[in-house]
Structure 1
Amino acid sequence: MVSSQRRQVRRVLAELIATRGIMPLLMKVRNGGHWTPDEKLELIRHLRRMVRLSPYLIALLLPGSILFLPIYAWWLDRRRVRRGD
């Protein structure tokens, strides 16, 4: 169980580190610049990474989320079971 938790922590941290460059990219248009097609693709990649992390982050940001962690762990475990098994 501990190794699984560590693996998930490493995964979340790796994804968060990979999205580091999103803020300057988002602020480019706000500061009067324009996105190039390559920058638009990079933005899409960053947003997809963040969407994959959203279940983890939502569970941690909600008030009282510590109470829901056992339920959340059960739900994540249930998703690994293939449909039809």
Structure 2
Amino acid sequence: MTSRLPSWWRQLLLIQRRELGHTLAELAALRGFMPLLMKVRNGGHWTPEEKEILLAHLRRLSRLSPYFMLLLLPGSALLLPLYAWWLDRRRLKR
């Protein structure tokens, strides 16, 4: 079915699938973040190792935040192809 699509459309679908996979992998890596974050609220204390894990989770979230911010804007579904192009690091000259 995808072989009948124009090449630019196939490329757009490949980019979308790649970014979806990246986002899902990052979200899966956040497992256990909320219980660890709420440990102090529930009367516990963070160990130095847990603080490092929290920082790693927060860094991971900061990399995902542009995706979620864009999805909250009005008309954002129309901007997704443009956003995928802008995020594609391969277009930058090295």
Q: What TM-score does the superposition give when structure 2 sets the normalisation length?
A: 0.75
Q: Tell me how far apart the structure 2 counterparts of residues 13 and 78 of structure 1 sit (CA, whole Å).
A: 19
Whichever of the two has the greater Rg, that structure is 2
Q: Residue 61 in 1 paired to residue 72 in 2?
A: yes
Contact 2:33 2:57 in 1 (8 A): yes
Shift of 1:78: 7.5
After TM superposition, which residue ranges in structure 1, 4 or more long, deviate above 6 angstroms?
Answer: none
For residues 13-32 of structure 1, the aligned pairs below 5 Å read: 13-32=24-43
Tell me: CA distance 1:15–1:78, structure 2 relative to 1, closer, same or farther (3 Å): closer
Structure 2: runs of 5 or more not aligned: 1-10
How many residues align? The count is 83
Q: What TM-score does the superposition give when structure 1 sets the normalisation length?
A: 0.81
Q: Higher relative contact order at CA 8 Å, sep ≥6: structure 1 or structure 2?
A: 2
